[in-house]
């Protein structure tokens, strides 16, 4: 067991877990933040994408010991009372959500991109979101939602 | 590891556990909070109710007072460990077969006390059972069904058999629908729910019974680690008020303090212990305001008003002028009768949890008598606008007793606020003292009777002046006053009546609904008065009652003509016959210090809301392709058994096998509104809705059955799960449904039953106020010890005409429970308040009937099918207390040879009134 300290969505947390446990498992099973999804555990589908120090990562591939003292943002950070987050609003308005399972990962990947490049062109969006698989929408609406840039 | 803790090891239900405990931790805390074994219940935390009983090394112990470290190396059995995977322990089965389970909150403790008894004594007799279970309180069953269950279980253990479930026909007594959950400890009551990341909230109470708040100082509380917020009235997003008839009781008091139960602030913390500790650190500064602690003071001219509208919450009159019959009037009889506050003493204290669903819906889980009323009030408090009721969902948890108290929410608004504001799941659980101080009580009344009686023994006219103390808030004051007054003549045909009632505000407590809804007190007083008249006329009390009884086509006090019922005489005769009423020859029998007396009384009770209040029941039934019948109704069952009865009505109508039927209740999201579970109305009102929905479905299925059987639809009968026609054989439910689906028939039916009544004329109080009335009569034999004042009810007979009885064991359990509650009312219970400060805040000072105090109770049902009731049924829940209480009081009067015009008649009071010997 190892004690790992980091921040999740602005709150400091400390977990006592096996050091090799994935960040995904810690988020979902230890911290009960189940917005981050479990799709493949192999870094192939992107459903588990979260931001670590602003960088989108597949949380299923990251051992939690590597997160010591770092800042993690999950989909739960996007929930706020009143006016929805612009990216959430864009996803809703552009019908970029069907079953919703890829959505948290998509939004985190898009958020990571927009933080770095507020005006990406369509090609950049395609390239950056290439690691996130969606089986429902055919991607077009997701790209458009990311492109809206409220 | 926490400092000061040590690791202990023990086995629970054959599983090994090892964990650190502190010296302050009780075994109940460890079981419930750390091992998630929530079967053992918390009722008092002082070892006086027995709900937490478990078995440690073969002995029954109160786990709420048993330090956890003492369990080191012990073998523990809890209610969860009684059953083998799918097989109930014979005790559990016997509890279900004997009607020993109602609300189910005392059940785990009862079972474990009984289990420990049977471990050491395979052949217990009644005395052994009573001795072993005397520390376990039950508020629903009257103990006798439990006693019968333990004796039956002992026998089946000896014979290696087990009681089995019966058929589900109307008139049979199957295991109640929620029974297995309740006897295995799986049934979740509000405090048993837990959610991840949950916060806990504890109330801060007023330091004075009457005053004004100057300042609330939360900083000391906020400084405690783990404290999240301290809420005051300023944090309430919507209307700061609870109350269905009148939104007058603040969730968190703003400026005025009106009684000892006002909640001033709410501390939200990470743990319940922290929340409680911090609640004690919130400083509430008040200026005292002189309180009004009696109805007399409240009505004194110039008395300071508790509310701007004055100190009268409600007033009404009932006037009926009969033919003058002056020449024959002989005697005028006057009486005055008083009662005090009575506590419901629900074994489960107030508790609720709230959480926000993934779709943003606030879900509140709590005890309830009407989830739809609760939802409306919670919306108002949270500022959710009308017509957005989907944003809040109220689900009834298993409810540990109700008897009217659950009509006024206490914990739910607090849990909902804590969750709404922190956006985290939140839980509130009141302790026993908080429950006593903050919740509704039965109204104290002062009733003055003045009767004119003719020489034949007929009461010609009756004047009544009734005053009821509603305390600081109204709750259902006008409705309770109405029910009180409408029934205040007793079940008698009195040509002229003048009844005046007034409900008065005081700062003493907070009165609301309690079993009988005001009629309990007025019927008790009426029967006290009638007994007095019979005594003066030297008439046999039975004969006097028969002479004056309501019969078919009699008029009640409100001028309502009774039809389709034989009313009072059949139940009076049935009770008297079974009891072997001693008749006119009886006399007070004194042997040494012991005097034996007999009492008789009758009662009637209007079923349903009455008075033109919209009284609707709704039911939905849906058949799935596999033949499963899904029935839904908003009617909540808090133990009295409506769910079981409603399912019986459905199964009887459709012939669906029990294993293929499911009933969902009490969830604003999933079930249709069926009104409150009050006024003994659910069997009658929702029962009719269920019958209607199922009958519609049956009409759809009949032609299918007729085709399959090649028979005339008229000839088809449904019997024990088969649709049959004489000479044409039978078909099974499954074959019938398969064929109906093949034909694409609509097997979803909804129905509404409306129970129409008339509002009383406001100036005369006349009108057809209830649709139907139940009748009851009781006889009682009581012994009084003239030396030490001890009163013992020896035996009772309770006769009820509640129409056809759907489930005899549950009905009997209602009646025995009602009779024992009545005995407590007359002999021991009173919530005493001195200058606004309650003196009875636990089960040692508020004395309930215990196992050993219970008389033999013989229950008789006079089943006159009600023409309007579903399958002839009416209501029973409240009538169960109504005749029993005056029968006991009249027997005490008879045995002591003096009248007691105030209850309870405790040994001290009895001795003080007895003439010196």
**Tokens in use for B387?**
């017509």
Q: Please report the pLDDT score of residue B368 as a whole number.
A: 98
Q: Please report the pLDDT score of residue B887 as a whole number.
A: 98
Q: Please report the pLDDT score of residue B530 as a whole number.
A: 98
What is the percentage of chain B residues whose pLDDT exceeds 90?
Answer: 95
Residue A14 forms contact with B (CB below 8 Å): no
Domain range list for chain A: 2-78, 86-147
Closest of B216, B235, B329 to residue B281, by C-alpha: B216
Residue B359 forms contact with A (CB below 8 Å): no
| Mean pLDDT on B519-534 | 98
Distance from CA of B249 to the nearest CA of A (A): 29
Q: Please give the DSSP secondary-structure letter assigned to residue A126.
A: H
**Contact residues, A window 86-145, toward B, CB-based 8 Å cutoff:** none
**Tokens in use for B136?**
């376990």
Rounded CA separation B570/B590 (Å): 32
**Tokens in use for B182?**
């309740």
Q: Chain B residues with CB inside 8 Å of A81's CB?
A: 423
| Complex ipTM tops 0.85 | no
| CB neighbour list of residue B371: distance below 8 Å, 6 or more residues apart | B394, B395, B396, B634, B636, B666, B667, B668
Residue A32 forms contact with B (CB below 8 Å): yes
pLDDT reading at B783 higher than 80: yes
CATH of domain A2-78: 3.10.20.30
Q: Following DSSP, what letter does each residue of B452-479 receive, concatenated?
A: EEETTS-EEEEEEEEEEEEETS-TTHHH
| Mean pLDDT of chain B, nearest integer | 96
* Residues B621/B629, Cβ–Cβ less than 8 Å: yes
Distance from CA of B625 to the nearest CA of A (A): 27
What is the percentage of chain B residues whose pLDDT exceeds 70?
Answer: 99
* Residues B871/B806, Cβ–Cβ less than 8 Å: yes
B565-613 residue pLDDT tens: 899 999 999 999 999 999 876 667 899 999 999 999 999 999 999 999 9
Residue B225 forms contact with A (CB below 8 Å): no
B861-872 residue pLDDT tens: 999 999 999 999
* C-alpha B377, offset from chain centre: 21
B734-774 residue pLDDT tens: 999 999 999 999 999 999 999 999 999 999 999 999 999 99
Rounded CA separation A69/B217 (Å): 37
Q: Please report the pLDDT score of residue B850 as a whole number.
A: 97
Distance from CA of B237 to the nearest CA of A (A): 14
Distance from CA of A106 to the nearest CA of B (A): 19
| Mean pLDDT on B680-692 | 97
| Mean pLDDT on B544-551 | 98
Strand B329-338 and strand B426-429: the pairing is unpaired
Distance from CA of B85 to the nearest CA of A (A): 29
Q: Chain A residues with CB inside 8 Å of B360's CB?
A: none
Q: Following DSSP, what letter does each residue of B168-227 receive, concatenated?
A: -SBTB-PPPTTHHHHHHT-PPBGGG---TT-EEEEEEE-SSSSEEEEEEE-HHHHTSTTE
pTM: 0.95
* Residues B838/B832, Cβ–Cβ less than 8 Å: yes
Distance from CA of B18 to the nearest CA of A (A): 20
User: In this structure, is the dihedral angle defined by the CA atoms of residues B295, B296, B301 and B306, taken in order, positive or negative?
Assistant: negative
**Tokens in use for B715?**
């000839």
| Mean pLDDT on B506-515 | 98
According to DSSP, the residues that pair with B890 across neighbouring strands are: none
Task: Say which range, B125-139, B161-175, B282-296, has the weakest mean pLDDT.
Answer: B161-175
pLDDT band at B719 (very low <50, low <70, confident <90, very high): confident
Instruction: Select the more confidently predicted residue: B564 or B773.
Output: B773
B422: nearest CA in chain A?
A81
**Contact residues, B window 745-774, toward A, CB-based 8 Å cutoff:** none
A29: nearest CA in chain B?
B196
Q: Chain A residues with CB inside 8 Å of B196's CB?
A: 32
Q: Chain A residues with CB inside 8 Å of B423's CB?
A: 81
pLDDT band at B364 (very low <50, low <70, confident <90, very high): very high
CATH of domain A86-147: 1.10.150.120
Rounded CA separation B421/B252 (Å): 15
Rounded CA separation B316/B311 (Å): 15
Residue B196 forms contact with A (CB below 8 Å): yes
pLDDT band at B1 (very low <50, low <70, confident <90, very high): very low
pLDDT reading at B475 higher than 50: yes
**Tokens in use for B400?**
């540990």
**Tokens in use for B763?**
């100036």
Task: Say which range, B81-90, B257-266, B843-852, has the weakest mean pLDDT.
Answer: B81-90
pLDDT reading at B2 higher than 70: no
A32: nearest CA in chain B?
B196
């Amino acid at each position: 067991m190892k004690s790992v300290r980091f921040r999740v969505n602005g709150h400091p947390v400390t977990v006592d877990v096996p050091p090799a446990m994935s960040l995904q498992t810690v988020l979902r099973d230890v911290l009960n933040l189940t917005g981050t999804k479990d799709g493949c555990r192999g870094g192939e589908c992107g459903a588990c994408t979260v931001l670590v120090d602003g960088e989108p990562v597949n949380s299923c591939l990251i051992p939690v010991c590597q997160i010591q003292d770092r800042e993690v943002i999950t989909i739960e950070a996007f929930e706020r009372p009143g006016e929805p987050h612009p990216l959430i609003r864009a996803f809703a308005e552009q019908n970029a959500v069907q079953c919703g399972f890829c959505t948290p990962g998509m939004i985190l990947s898009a958020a990571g991109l927009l933080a770095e490049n507020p005006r990406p062109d369509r090609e950049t969006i395609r390239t950056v979101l290439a690691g996130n698989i969606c089986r429902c929408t055919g991607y077009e609406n997701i790209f458009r939602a990311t492109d809206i840039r409220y | 590891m926490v400092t000061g803790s040590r690791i202990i090891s023990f086995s629970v239900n054959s599983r090994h556990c090892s964990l650190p405990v502190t010296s302050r931790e009780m075994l109940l805390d460890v079981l419930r909070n750390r091992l998630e074994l929530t079967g053992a219940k918390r009722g008092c935390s002082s070892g006086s109710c027995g709900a937490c009983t478990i078995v440690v090394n073969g002995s029954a112990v109160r786990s709420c007072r048993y330090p956890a470290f003492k369990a080191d190396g012990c073998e523990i059995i809890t209610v969860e460990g009684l059953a083998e995977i799918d097989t109930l322990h014979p005790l559990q089965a016997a509890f279900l077969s004997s009607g020993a389970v109602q609300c189910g909150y005392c059940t785990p403790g009862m079972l474990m006390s009984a289990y420990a008894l049977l471990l050491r004594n395979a052949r217990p007799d009644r005395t052994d059972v009573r001795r072993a279970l005397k520390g376990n309180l039950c508020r629903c069953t009257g103990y006798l069904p439990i006693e019968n269950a333990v004796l039956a279980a002992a026998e089946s253990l000896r014979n290696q058999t087990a009681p089995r479930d019966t058929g589900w026909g109307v008139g049979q007594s199957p295991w109640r629908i929620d029974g297995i959950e309740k006897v295995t400890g799986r049934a979740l009551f509000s405090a048993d729910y837990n959610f991840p990341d949950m916060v806990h909230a504890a109330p801060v109470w007023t330091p004075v019974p009457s005053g004004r708040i100057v300042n609330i100082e939360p900083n000391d509380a906020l400084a405690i680690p783990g404290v999240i917020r301290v809420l005051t009235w300023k944090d309430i997003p919507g209307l700061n008020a609870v109350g269905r008839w009148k939104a007058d009781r603040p969730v968190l008091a703003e400026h005025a303090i009106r009684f000892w139960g006002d909640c001033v602030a709410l501390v939200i913390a990470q743990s319940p212990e922290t929340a409680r500790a911090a609640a004690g650190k919130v400083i509430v500064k008040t200026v005292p305001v002189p309180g009004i602690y009696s109805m007399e003071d409240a009505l004194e001219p110039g008395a300071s008003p508790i509310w701007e509208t004055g100190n009268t919450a409600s007033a009404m009159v009932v006037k009926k002028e009969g033919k003058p019959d002056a020449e024959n009037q002989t005697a005028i009889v006057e009486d005055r009768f008083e009662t005090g506050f009575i506590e419901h003493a629900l074994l489960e204290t107030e508790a609720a949890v709230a959480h926000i669903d993934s779709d943003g819906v606030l879900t509140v889980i709590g005890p309830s008598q009407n989830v739809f009323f609760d939802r409306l009030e919670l919306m108002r408090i949270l500022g959710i606008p009308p017509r957005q009721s989907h944003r809040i969902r109220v689900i009834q948890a298993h409810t540990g007793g109700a008897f009217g108290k659950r009509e006024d929410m206490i914990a739910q608004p607090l849990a909902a606020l804590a969750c709404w504001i922190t956006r985290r799941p939140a839980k509130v659980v009141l302790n026993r003292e908080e429950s006593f101080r903050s919740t509704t009580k039965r109204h104290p009344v002062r009733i003055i009777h003045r009767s004119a009686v003719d020489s034949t023994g007929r009461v010609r006219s009756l004047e009544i002046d009734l005053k009821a103390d509603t305390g600081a808030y109204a709750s259902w004051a006008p409705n309770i006053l109405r029910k009180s007054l409408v029934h205040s003549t007793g079940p008698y045909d009195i040509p002229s009546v003048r009844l005046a009632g007034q409900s008065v505000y005081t700062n003493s407590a907070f009165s609301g609904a309690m079993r009988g809804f005001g009629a309990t007190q007025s019927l008790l007083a009426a029967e006290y008065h009638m007994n007095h008249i019979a005594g003066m006329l030297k008439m046999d009390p039975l004969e006097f009652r028969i002479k004056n009884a309501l019969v078919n086509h009699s008029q009640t006090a409100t001028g309502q003509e009774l039809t389709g019922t034989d009313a009072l005489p059949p139940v009076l005769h049935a009770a008297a016959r079974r009891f072997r009423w001693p008749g006119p020859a009886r006399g007070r029998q004194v042997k040494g210090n012991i005097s034996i007396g007999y009492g008789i009384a009758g009662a009637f009770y209007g079923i349903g809301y009455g008075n033109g209040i919209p009284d609707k029941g709704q039911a939905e039934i849906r058949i799935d392709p596999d033949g499963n019948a899904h029935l839904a109704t908003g009617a909540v069952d808090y133990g009295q058994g409506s769910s079981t009865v409603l399912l019986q009505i459905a199964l009887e109508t459709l012939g669906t096998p029990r294993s293929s039927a499911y009933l969902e209740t009490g969830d604003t999201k999933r079930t249709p509104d069926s009104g409150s579970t009050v006024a003994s109305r659910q069997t009658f009102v929702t029962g009719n809705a269920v019958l209607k929905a199922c009958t519609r479905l049956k009409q759809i299925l009949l032609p299918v059955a007729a085709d399959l059987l090649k028979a005339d639809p008229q000839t088809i009968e449904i019997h024990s799960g088969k649709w049959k026609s004489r000479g044409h054989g039978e078909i099974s439910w499954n074959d019938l449904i398969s064929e109906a689906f093949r034909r694409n028939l609509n097997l979803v039916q909804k129905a509404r039953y409306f129970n129409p009544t008339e509002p009383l004329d406001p100036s005369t109080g006349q009108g057809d106020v209830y649709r139907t009335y139940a009748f009851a009569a009781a006889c009682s034999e009581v012994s009084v010890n003239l030396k030490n004042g001890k009163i013992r009810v020896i035996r009772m007979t309770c006769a009820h005409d509640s129409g056809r009885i759907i489930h005899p064991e549950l009905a009997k359990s209602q009646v025995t429970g009602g009779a024992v509650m009545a005995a407590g009312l007359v002999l021991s219970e009173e919530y005493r308040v001195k200058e606004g400060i309650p003196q009875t805040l636990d089960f040692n000072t508020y004395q309930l009937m215990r196992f050993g105090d219970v008389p033999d109770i013989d229950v008789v049902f006079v089943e006159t099918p009600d023409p309007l009731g579903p399958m002839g049924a009416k209501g029973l829940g409240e009538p169960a207390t109504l005749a029993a209480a005056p029968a006991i009081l009249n027997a005490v009067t008879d045995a002591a040879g003096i009248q007691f015009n105030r209850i309870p008649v405790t040994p001290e009071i009895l001795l003080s009134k007895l003439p010196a010997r």
